[in-house]
Amino acid sequence: MRLAVTCIFALGCSATHVAAVDDGDAGPRVRATPEAGADDGGDAGSGFCAKRSPRATFCDDFEAATLGAAWDLVQQSPPGLAARDLAAFVSPPASLTVTTKRLGPGDLGSIFLRKTVTGTASRAVLGFDVYADDPQPEGTLAIATLDLSLDHLLTLYLLDDDPVSRARR
């Protein structure tokens, strides 16, 4: 079983295709204001964020002892749990682990960190490392969103693309 990525746009979605392009990322960054909380504990330390060049507009490597210190909101609507994981990470000393609990049909679970960066931009790049087990064959699981504005939204879903388990639905 593998995972899949799907994008859903509220506006302007057109035909999907795959093409090879340059992965370059050159150009000046918009610097977040201090009020936006761009400089979390990870930036101030010696981890991924501190070493990244050029520095990101916003970055969190979960080096800070307090989960969500750089974020506007840590949402843990029951059932679920968000915590720092000191045992598994890409860059030490920690990652973010999110655990959901069993949900019934139609139930919602929201365990996420949210950040808004004040300002305008013509291009935005959201990046993260993710470690996910096989997704579930039922329900839906969104792992990240990038909202450019109130009506221009992008959501990444993990999907079970195993035809056997999907056929059981």
Partner 1 sequence: MPPAGTWTRIEVEVDAAAGLATVRVGGVIALRTGIAKAPAIDPTIRVGALVTGPASPYTLRFDDVTLDLFP
Contacting partner 1 within 140-169 (CB under 8 A): 140-149, 152, 154-156, 158
Using CA atoms, how far apart are residues 169 and 159, in angstroms rounded to an integer? 13
Options 5, 44, 65, 86; binder of partner 1; rule CB under 8 A: 5
Among 12, 24, 34, 163, binds partner 1 (CB under 8 A): 12
Cis preceding linkage at 137, omega within 30: no
Assess contact for 118 and 36: CB atoms under 8 A.
yes
Residue 89 CB coordination number (10 Å): 20
Q: Which of residues 24-43 bind partner 1 (CB under 8 A)?
A: 25, 27-30, 32
The residue from 53, 88, 163, 167 that contacts partner 1 (CB under 8 A) is 88
Among 21, 53, 163, 164, binds partner 1 (CB under 8 A): 21
- Is residue 85 within 8 Å of residue 92, measured between CB atoms? no
Closest distance of CB 8 from partner 1, Å:
10
Q: What are phi and psi of 35, to 5 degrees?
A: -65, -25
Taking CA atoms, 150 is separated from 40, 116, 133, in Å, by 26, 12, 31
Total chain residues near partner 1 (CB under 8 A): 103
With b for 16 or more beta-carbon neighbours within 10 A and e for fewer, the 124-135 pattern comes to eeeeeeeeeeeb
Among residues 46, 78, 125, 166, the one that binds partner 1 under rule CB under 8 A: 125
Which residue from 20, 24, 35, 53 is in contact with partner 1, where contact means CB under 8 A? 20
Site string for partner 1, 51-80 (x = CB under 8 A): -x---xxxxxxx------------x----x
Of 39 and 80, nearer to partner 1 (C-beta) is: 80
Binding of residue 90 to partner 1 (CB under 8 A): yes
d(CA 8, CA 44): 35
